[in-house]
Structure 1
Amino acid sequence: MPSPARVPPRLAFLPFRGSTAIAQGLLTRAMLRGPTWQRLLPDVYVHRDALRAADHRLWCDAVALLLPAGAAIAGPSAAYLWGVDLLPRNAPVSVLLSRPARLRPHPQLAVTRSALPGSDLTCFGGLPVTTPLRTAFDLARRGPRDEALVAVDAMLHRRVVGLPALQAYADTRSRWPGLPLLREVLALAEPLSESPMETRLRLLLLDAGLPPPTAQHDVLDARGRFVGRVDLAWPALRVAVEYDGDHHRERAHFRQDVARLNALRAAGWIVLRFTADDVLRHRPRTVRLVTAALRERADERNSTAVTRPR
């Protein structure tokens, strides 16, 4: 029975350049062709036990080995490294290259060419990456509009960047492409938005011409006691809109939601709850339901004002 292949400790967990491992005498070309090592990119390998095909950080580590000087991991991949996961499954690694730099095309790479001054470049876990400000700036300039707003809201909510700092940064780059979209996104941005779908729901209602809602509003009862926090609210009308993700289907969470919803209703609030299907596939119906609730409450308030004795 053949003995297992010897694995140099420094190559056991992270991607590495095959040519470098050979030059250092750690492996031979014949060993690299064996089953112990998995080729990820040209001249980049990883130990088969360390391969996690869906791990975006692993692919960032691999891509970084091939980046020319002055290039960086950027866009959604940089946001991922900064703690904001906006990536679909098996997304390629986004990289930013200065225009003269060269990098061989590969399906696992999404390359953008743009100016990248040294002040926009930093290091994260040993990887070259665009700074949080540059990352948010780039994502805010990249359509579609709803995805740009989702990205900026998420970075603001995680406090990776601040809105005043991002606005000031954009002001210094007034001639860069994509600025009209960026300005619109910054005007719509909401740091209190807690999820991508909450952002999409808020944008849907704003685009329908409804009054801007208050995000993450604390509802108090008539005695000033806390009742609950709602995703989006029109406090003067006591109308709330909530996005229900999959976690709301868990038994314990469902029971808490029922008690909370009853308390909100007892406090005089209309609460409308929507799912991803409502936001993405039944948009007109969603808008109609919210519009009707706001109109109903506005009519009630106007009627009360008219009939109130003087």
Structure 2
Amino acid sequence: MRAIVSRKHGPMQKITPLPMDVDPRGFLVADAYAAGVPRWRLQTKDLLTPSRGIRLANVNELDLELLARLHTAITPRCAVSHVTAALLWNIPLPIYLEEEGNTGLIHVTRRQEIGRVKRRGVVGHRAPLLARDVREVNGVRLTSPEWTWVDLARRVGRESLVAAGDFLLARENPLSSIEAIQEIVDRRPKVKGIRMAREILPLLRSGVDSPQESKLRVKIVDAGLPEPAITVPIYDEHGRYMSTPDLQYTEYKIAMEYEGDHHRSDPVQWGKDIERDDRLRAQGWIVLKFSDVQMKGGWANAERKVRDALASRGWRGPSS
């Protein structure tokens, strides 16, 4: 293999491998110096400088967790926050915020009395963080899930904030609780977006399986329709399990399913879905399907579909 060389400083220098105790994916300059790495080696084209004192491997895919870890290591008494923390907690976000994370911009929060972080590649914030508001995950200091959720309220819309909150209350391994989120909302009465957070908090539900299901539920409620139940198992007259729809009106025997692309692209799953729906219809259930088309641009028709199904089963409006 042909050696990579550097011509930046005097005679050509071979780009030699970094010492074993220096992570080639990314590291602090101070650690590299301590390991005996010469200055010229830190300025070669196989390394990027996202911020002062930090080097990353010059590769196509950004390792956001690694970059966040390096920033918290080089900056004392801070925590990764806002959009960056949300991405590292795997909280579902709108595409435009996911793309912001891919730029390598890191949001960092310090306590108010310390002062905002000022360095390239960082958006600095100040907030009254307590020790319990910061968690360490894989070596990265992050604002807690509930603190992060409140920070998101100024950046996302109503449906996306519900989806983010539902994610924190997942059936398996929930990241937070309604009580913990409420406590942060109460402690941060003046933060930007708090009115939205207060408005959305009563709409959060546990047991939701996907962001799109959360958004579908909010659309239904905002249309003045009854709030459907979430992931309640359905059994036939003999007590045999049949299905657990995403949403349902048990009283009216109406089941609703959000069908993502994986349902259509996986023939096995597609076949199972058809069999499941046939069994439900045989037991007198109405099965309504929704996709990204209804969620984004065709909600009026989807709303009419739900309203007509309810009316066909005797629903007469909000008072019924």
Instruction: State the TM bucket, normalised to the shorter chain.
Output: 0.7 to 0.9
Distance 1:299 1:43, change over 3 A: closer
Between the aligned partners of 2:305 and 2:156, the Cα distance in structure 1 is 28
1:276 Cα deviation after fit? 1.2
Paired residue for 2:11? Answer: none
Paired residue for 1:59? Answer: 67
Paired residue for 1:35? Answer: 45
**Equivalent residue letter for 1:285:** N
Give per-residue Cα distances to partners, 1:185-204, cap 9 Å, x unaligned. 11100111111111111111
Between the aligned partners of 1:226 and 1:76, the Cα distance in structure 2 is 41
**Equivalent residue letter for 1:57:** E
1:212 Cα deviation after fit? 0.6
1:223 Cα deviation after fit? 2.2
Paired residue for 1:296? Answer: 312
- 2:80 pairs with 1:80: no
Paired residue for 1:257? Answer: 273
Tell me the SS of whatever aligns to 2:284: coil
- 2:238 pairs with 1:218: no
Between the aligned partners of 1:73 and 1:185, the Cα distance in structure 2 is 24
Between the aligned partners of 1:168 and 1:244, the Cα distance in structure 2 is 35
Is the CA contact 2:253–2:284 (under 8 Å) kept in the aligned structure 1?
A: yes
Is the CA contact 2:117–2:123 (under 8 Å) kept in the aligned structure 1?
A: no
Distance 1:251 1:203, change over 3 A: same
Tell me the SS of whatever aligns to 2:226: coil
Is the CA contact 2:232–2:245 (under 8 Å) kept in the aligned structure 1?
A: yes
1:110 Cα deviation after fit? 4.0
Paired residue for 2:287? Answer: 271
Paired residue for 1:190? Answer: 205
Give per-residue Cα distances to partners, 1:163-195, cap 9 Å, x unaligned. 123224433444555332222211100111111
Between the aligned partners of 2:315 and 2:26, the Cα distance in structure 1 is 64
Tell me the SS of whatever aligns to 2:169: helix
Out of 100, 103, 114, the position equivalent to 2:117 is 103
Out of 247, 252, 260, the position equivalent to 1:245 is 260
Counterparts in 2 of 1:63-212, with a 5 A limit?
63-67=71-75, 69-86=76-93, 88-89=98-99, 91=101, 92-99=105-112, 100-104=114-118, 106=120, 108-140=121-153, 142-157=155-170, 158-174=173-189, 176-212=191-227
Distance 1:299 1:135, change over 3 A: closer
Is the CA contact 1:140–1:181 (under 8 Å) kept in the aligned structure 2?
A: yes
Task: Name the count of aligned residue pairs.
Answer: 295
TM-score (norm 1): 0.84
TM-score (norm 2): 0.82
Give per-residue Cα distances to partners, 1:69-102, cap 9 Å, x unaligned. 3321113332333343536245133322344524
**Equivalent residue letter for 1:101:** G
| Structure 1 residues not aligned, in runs of 5+ | 301-310
- Using the aligned pairs only, state the percent identity: 27
Between the aligned partners of 1:98 and 1:4, the Cα distance in structure 2 is 41
Paired residue for 1:17? Answer: 28
Query: Bigger shift: 130-139 or 277-286?
Result: 130-139
- 2:284 pairs with 1:284: no
Query: Bigger shift: 188-197 or 91-100?
Result: 91-100
Is the CA contact 1:139–1:152 (under 8 Å) kept in the aligned structure 2?
A: no
Out of 55, 60, 78, the position equivalent to 1:45 is 55
Between the aligned partners of 2:24 and 2:89, the Cα distance in structure 1 is 22
Tell me the SS of whatever aligns to 2:256: strand
1:211 Cα deviation after fit? 0.4
| Structure 2 residues not aligned, in runs of 5+ | 4-13
Is the CA contact 1:16–1:46 (under 8 Å) kept in the aligned structure 2?
A: yes
Distance 1:88 1:174, change over 3 A: closer
Distance 1:85 1:144, change over 3 A: closer
Between the aligned partners of 1:285 and 1:111, the Cα distance in structure 2 is 44
